[in-house]
């Protein structure tokens, strides 16, 4: 049996993971001395309430190699079992490195790692693609090859309310170019080559949605879309309505960005991931 493993930055709910048969390894989020497993001890709604009302800025860390080691051992009980493990971009987190250290200890023959070069909704689209490939009878190496081909067709655009959280967390990447610009503007970002890069600045949410929809129109035809919000369900509804009108008949996966990714994105934003047709 081929088992799929991902991490909690895929922002896959526990119910979704059970339905898909995916094992999710949680990252860690901390508020001062308090530590929580992403999506296990702290859900997204509770996180955003705390983020917007508390005075302590959260920090995050990747799972230790020992956690991956335990997960892989549990999934490889049968000699015929193998694992495809798909994770957040290595340019955004050390999670893949932790998984790699566990693989080195256990032996790489049965555990196959994939750098998604993405995060959140983009990572989840890639994981779902791997699950579909397994269901269609692909062998582990083929699943990995197809995932690496698929990641070239997956992209993310993000509308944030502010760059403050991304800057504080040190994950700002090339979007640093947007810092120090005009006041009262909202950044639109793109995940490019596994890191955060600037797409533009807008004066309002509506202009941000316009920019994202226009960029995604350029990627048509599409196979799938995913819209995830950061404590802003009203923004999710607005974006989904626009995308449904622009791409009738295209499946749109809806969700909420979880605590670890939300610690950098901050409240009041949304991201749109797309999968272009092959």
Question: With contact defined as beta carbons under 8 Å apart, do 270 and 187 qualify?
Answer: no
User: Residues, the chain, total?
Assistant: 278
Q: Tell me what pLDDT residue 175 has.
A: 45
Calculate what percentage of the chain has a pLDDT beyond 90.
Answer: 82
Q: Which of the four pLDDT bands, split at 50, 70 and 90, describes residue 182?
A: very low
Which residue is it, tokens 């088992």? Answer: 3
Q: Give the pLDDT confidence score for residue 278 in this predicted structure.
A: 77
pTM value? 0.93
Residue 118: predicted pLDDT: 97
Residue 197, both tokens: 């890069």
The rounded distance, in Å, linking the Cα atoms of 228 and 271 is 5
Q: Are residues 171 and 141 in the same domain?
A: no
Residue 244 and residue 35: Cα distance in Å, rounded?
39
Q: Do 147 and 169 share a domain, yes or no?
A: no
Flag whether pLDDT at 201 surpasses 80.
yes
pLDDT exceeds cutoff 70 at 61: yes
In a shared domain, residues 200 and 251:
yes
Which of 119, 151, 183 lies at the terminal end of a domain, its last residue? 151
Task: Say if CB 266 and CB 223 are below 8 A apart.
Answer: no
Any residues with CB less than 8 A from the CB of 74 and at least 6 apart, and which?
none
Q: What domain range is 142 assigned to? A: 2-151
Alpha helices in 107-232 (DSSP H): 121-135, 140-150, 164-169, 205-217
Same-domain status, 72 and 51: yes
CATH code, domain carrying 144: 3.40.50.10170
User: 218 versus 164: which is more confidently predicted?
Assistant: 218
Strands laid side by side in the 186-192 sheet: 195-202, 186-192, 154-159, 269-276, 222-230, 252-256
> Closest Cα partner for 260 from 28, 93, 23?
28
Q: For residues 148 and 116, what is the distance between their CA atoms, to the nearest angstrom?
A: 8
pLDDT over threshold 50, residue 14: yes
The tally of domains found in the chain comes to 2
User: Which of 151, 179, 201 finishes a domain?
Assistant: 151
Domain stops at, among 120, 151, 182: 151
Pairing of strands 59-61, 186-192: unpaired
Rg (CA), the chain: 18
């Amino acid at each position: 049996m081929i088992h799929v493993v991902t991490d909690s930055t895929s922002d896959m709910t526990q119910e979704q993971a059970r339905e898909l048969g995916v094992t999710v390894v949680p990252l860690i989020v901390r508020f001062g001395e308090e530590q929580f497993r992403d999506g296990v001890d702290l859900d997204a709604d509770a996180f955003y309430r705390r983020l917007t009302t508390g005075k302590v800025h959260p920090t995050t860390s990747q799972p230790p190699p020992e956690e991956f080691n335990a997960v892989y051992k549990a999934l490889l009980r049968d000699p015929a079992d193998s694992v495809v493990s798909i994770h957040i971009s290595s340019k955004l987190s050390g999670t893949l490195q932790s998984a790699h250290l566990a693989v080195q200890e256990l032996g790489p023959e049965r555990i196959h790692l994939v750098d998604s070069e993405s995060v959140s909704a983009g990572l989840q689209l890639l994981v779902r693609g791997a699950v579909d490939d397994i269901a269609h009878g692909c062998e582990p190496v083929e699943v990995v090859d197809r995932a690496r081909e698929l990641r070239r067709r997956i992209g993310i655009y993000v509308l944030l309310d502010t760059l403050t959280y991304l800057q504080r967390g040190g994950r700002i990447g090339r979007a640093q170019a947007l810092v120090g610009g005009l006041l009262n503007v909202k950044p639109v970002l793109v995940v490019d080559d596994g890191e955060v890069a600037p797409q533009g600045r807008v004066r309002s949410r509506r202009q941000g949605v316009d920019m994202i929809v226009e960029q995604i129109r350029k990627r048509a035809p599409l196979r799938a879309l995913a819209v995830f919000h950061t404590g802003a369900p009203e923004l999710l509804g607005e974006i989904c309505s626009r995308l449904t009108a622009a791409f009738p008949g295209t499946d749109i996966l809806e969700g909420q960005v979880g605590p670890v990714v939300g610690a950098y994105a901050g409240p009041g934003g949304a991201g749109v991931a797309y999968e272009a047709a092959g």
